[in-house]
Homo-oligomer: A and B are copies of this chain.
Amino acid sequence: MSSEERKKTRVTLLDVARHANVSRATASLVLRKSPLVGSETRTRVEEAMRDLGYVYNIGAARLRVERSQIIGAIVPNLTNPFFAELLSGIEEIIGATGKVVILAKSGDRVEQQEMLLRRMREHGVDGVILCPAAHTESTLFEQITAWDMPVVQVLRHISFDMDYVGADYATGMRQAVDYLASLGHERIAFAVHGPVHSAYQERVDGFRDAMLSRGLDPSMLIRFPTQLGEIAQATHLLFDRATRPTAVICFNHLVALGLSAGLQDCGLTIGRDLSLIGFDDVADAEAIRPRLTSVSTGPVAIGEMAARLLVERIADPALPPRRLVNDTTLHIRQSCGRPN
């Protein structure tokens, strides 16, 4: 029997879906034991599976794996060294399975991401680790489900019905606020940049909650430009308000790098005149002077965790969706001191 014939005689998930009068995406959700599906629909789909004798074809999934041996990773950009560290974690795990990792950049553009996913699917990648572009609609999840393409979301999420690996951004923010408060800071700014997505929102919420729980004013949210070169020149934004901060928590390493330079240009001594905390703690945090105190989200570990989840997802597409959140750690170096 040729593979073409086998394909025609085998009961597919689409057959099940039609029989149960639901979409293929819904049938797939039932297969993955998603809580999104109501019990009535679930029962109907499960009955259709029994009626038609549907068996999830793990062998076919395995065959597909043997055919491609390529894992895709889609990230918003490569200018933030965070993503290079994430990738090295992914490659560490994927490389050990004999597969290779190909990387592509969405530029945080939804259309580009869509095109990349389509191309990767057409060319039979075994699975994709996806940091969703900002403003990705949750309908992407349904499309991916319909495609039966193993995908793990990393750093940002659009649906918890798909595997997700991220960091505990809220706790990271609390660690930064608590440390600055312990040094005596009360006027703490949060320097943000870039588009809004789940990881952005979780950091902003985490900052607000941590400030409020200490009775501090959480309203000093200051937006900086996207590009590194422009951040340093925009440092004055920190001082344009009636209330001047004594400490700044940075959204990520790029913001910290830009402000570190900009504050020195203003003739300020970081750690004495103003305290600065980075977020993400990439290798560069150790390489700038003064050394940057930073909340580590653990990019290498997150990459490793995401890769492991994807390997397991490829081996067993029927696993229920999982959600892993890496602990954050505050790395204290030289960029913070007591307020003047």
Contacts and interface: CB of A to CB of B under 8 A. Distances in A.
Interface stretch (A179-187, A194-202, A240-248, A280-288): A280-288
A250 B263 CA distance: 26
Interface residues of A, number: 44
A286 B116 CA distance: 32
Contact of A81 (B81, B119, B261): B81
A114 B287 CA distance: 33
Contacts of A120: 102
A279 B260 CA distance: 22
B283 A228 contact: yes
Copies of this chain, complex-wide, total 2
Contacts of A287: 228-229, 232, 257-258, 261
A286 B264 CA distance: 13
A101 interface: yes
A261 B72 CA distance: 36
Contacts of A95: 112
Interface of A: 68-70, 72, 77-79, 81, 83-84, 87-88, 91, 95, 100-105, 107, 112, 115-116, 119-120, 123-124, 227-229, 232, 257-258, 260-261, 264-265, 283-284, 286-289
